[in-house]
Amino acid sequence: MDRANHSVVSEFVFLGLSNSWEIQLVLFVFSSMFYVASMMGNSLIMLTVTLDPHLPFPMYFLLANLSFIDLGGSSIASPMMIYDIFRKRKVISFGGCISQIFFIHVIGGVEMVLLIAMAFDRYVAICKPLHYLTIMSPRTCIFFLVSAWMFGLIHSVIQLAFVVNLQFCGPNVLDSFYCDLPQLIKLACTDTYRLEFMVTANSGFISVGSFFILIISYIVIIVTVQKHSSAGLSKALSTLSAHITVVVLFFGPLIFSYTWPSSSTHLDKFLAIFDGVLTPFLNPVIYTFRNQEMKVAMWRVCRQLVRYMKIS
């Protein structure tokens, strides 16, 4: 049956973040600053990894792809949120809402696998340094990348399969600034308790499972290093600190949202802003702040670009 025959909802209305003009102004300024900064930071990482031949291939290849994912993740909902902040009527079409959900889950799935791949890369580099280039070959890196995109696409398609035949014939107001499945399902003209549980369980299980895989891998690295050399433990912790911080920032809001659903829409909105605006900004900062190799490479690339602009 054609969707138009059983669905009279053609658009959804967002309530947004706040009705206070002062809060809207603060949100607009900070959201715009963090969005532009995340775009510039992640673009610079991608450019540096692409142009600088001195950076080791496996680790920085994965980092560049993580930056690409962060670019996409921050661009799914943030531009529309910033544009809608001062608008009285904030709407999104039915197709636009479904597309937003699709890309949110694709990006989320890809990033989970990339973070696991980066943890494996650090495990090999720290625990099996003599075999690092053999194990983390270009073929292995491409395998991780293809697997990440396949996982993201499959996860997103499965999530959308839950709602593709739902009927939306009445309420169309979402107390949010973007579309996501839990809130969208509640607007359907049918009993959705079981469906809500399945969607939450699916995303929650994947998030918690991936998080525990990463935590276990970091514990294995630390224990292995400690057994061989207690002096090398501080170096390993220094190397892993950036990865662990990014993992906590990424999975924290996801796990909280899907495994501990809150009745507070204000908390949900804060977690959504944190995950969609702040995390893509913090990732390049975290990965470059204590990484002297990356900072030197960025400086080299910036000098090359300035020199090229002067010549042209």
Question: Which of the four pLDDT bands, split at 50, 70 and 90, describes residue 149?
Answer: very high
- The mean pLDDT of the chain is 86
Instruction: Answer for the pair 141, 150: CB distance below 8 angstroms, yes or no.
Output: no
For residue range 25-60, what is the model confidence (pLDDT) as tens digits? Answer: 999 999 999 999 999 999 999 999 998 888 888 889
Which residue type does 75 have?
S
Between 28 and 288, whose confidence is greater? Answer: 28
Alpha helices in 131-192 (DSSP H): 132-135, 138-161, 181-185
Residues 6+ apart with CB under 8 A from 139: none
CA 233/CA 230 separation, integer angstroms: 5
| pLDDT, average across residues 275-283 | 87
CB neighbourhood size of 20 (10 A): 10
- pLDDT-derived band of residue 262, with 50, 70 and 90 as boundaries? low
Give 23's contacts (C-beta < 8 A, 6+ positions apart): 17
Q: Give residue 231's pLDDT band: very low, low, confident or very high (50, 70, 90).
A: low
CA distance linking residue 150 with residue 142, whole number of Å: 12
